[in-house]
Amino acid sequence: MSGSNNQQLNVLVSGGGTGGHIFPALSIANEVRRRHPEARILFVGAEGRMEMEKVPAAGYNIIGLPVSGFDRKHLLRNVTVLARLFKSMRLARNILKDFKPDIAIGVGGYASGPMLKEAQKQGIPTLLQEQNSYAGVTNKLLAAKADSICVAYEGMERFFPKEKIVLTGNPVRRNLLDCGATPEQARQAMGVDPNKQTILIIGGSLGARTINNAIIGGLSKIGETHGVQVIWQTGKIYDQQCHEALMASGVKNVVQMPFISNMDMAYRAANLVVSRAGASSISELQLLGKAAILVPSPNVAEDHQTKNAQALVSRDAAIMVADADADRDLVDTMLDAVVNTDLLSQLGTNVEKMALRDAAEHIVDEVERIISQSKS
């Protein structure tokens, strides 16, 4: 894969659906581009999903497949799901014929199923990236014919052939790790008091209703707690409801916003983070050594967020509050924890021990290894 190999590199990256799939995919693409500036990189996503907007914004081409998930509640709706799947398989064949990838990388999410299945049928090398501690359906189906499966947790041989597993960790957004600000400077940048204990609440890229409702219910309690403040990211859908509740409460030590663009500053400002337990969020907390309370989303396949959270809780590396208990317990738990500096430093130290660094680099090492093997 060095300079002697002058033919152009064609890399196809497929998947998406949530930030948790898209950020790792972009990190991998960025690392390919850094090493091989002349490489052609093509993304394949699902029509109408977040990647169709985020990937072009990051400077890459993307093609959307009309694929959607199976409807487990209304089985009759799956007739259209199947029709879309067949159409997606046909489109996938055409994409492979036109683009001629040297490798297809699947990061999970709807589109990666038909895309990588077709690539495997045609003998194109494939690499899977599994972010969670509990493997997704798509990756389990593709594993047998994959050349390599890059994972972020130990013990994944329950799901995948042992000899194909490479422990790399999950790639995270570069800028989060490069933040040079002190916590005081970061709090100023976030518009809060530089000297108070700070809780950062993030509900994932789309917000989290349960977390938001728990905070709304606990606003007066938060308002009465001295020396503590809250940065509250609600997600766009819940922005108005949360903003109105905050205004009506008259509470002054909470700053609310629909979306945080400077996450590097937000993390740096925080003594404690309240978050869903998606794979990307957990990898960020590990790499940054952040004490956290995790509220796993119950609306995800195979309840994988609870399993992600338990992997941390079992190592004293996070606190977990079940979604069903959040209304009752979340605000008390976070207000107790944020003033317990011994607990915060223990959680931070333990979670940082779990971090796997330079994940994108390790994954691209694997990509290069597979391509040179298939070319020889």
pLDDT at 303 (0 to 100): 84
Q: What are the distances in angstroms from CA 16 to CA 4, 55, 157, 238, 298?
A: 34, 10, 24, 23, 19
pLDDT at 6 (0 to 100): 54
**Backbone region of residue 46 per phi and psi (left: phi > 0; alpha: psi in -120 to 50; beta: other values):** beta
pLDDT at 288 (0 to 100): 96
The phi and psi torsions of 146 (rounded to 5 degrees) equal -75, 150
pLDDT at 214 (0 to 100): 96
Q: Coil, strand, or helix at residue 21? A: helix
pLDDT at 1 (0 to 100): 53
Tokens 């997600």, located at residue? 235
Structure tokens at 77: 């709706």
pLDDT at 4 (0 to 100): 42
Q: How far is CA 305 from the centre of its chain?
A: 11
- How far from each other are the two terminal CA atoms of the chain, in whole angstroms? 11
Give the bridge partners for 106, in sequence order. Answer: 14, 128
Question: For the chain (length 376 residues), average pLDDT per consecutive 10?
Answer: 64 85 92 96 93 94 89 78 91 97 93 95 97 89 97 94 96 87 96 97 80 96 96 94 96 95 95 94 95 92 87 96 96 98 98 95 97 92
Residues whose CB is less than 8 angstroms from the CB of residue 259 and which lie 6 or more positions away in sequence, other chains included: 233, 235, 236
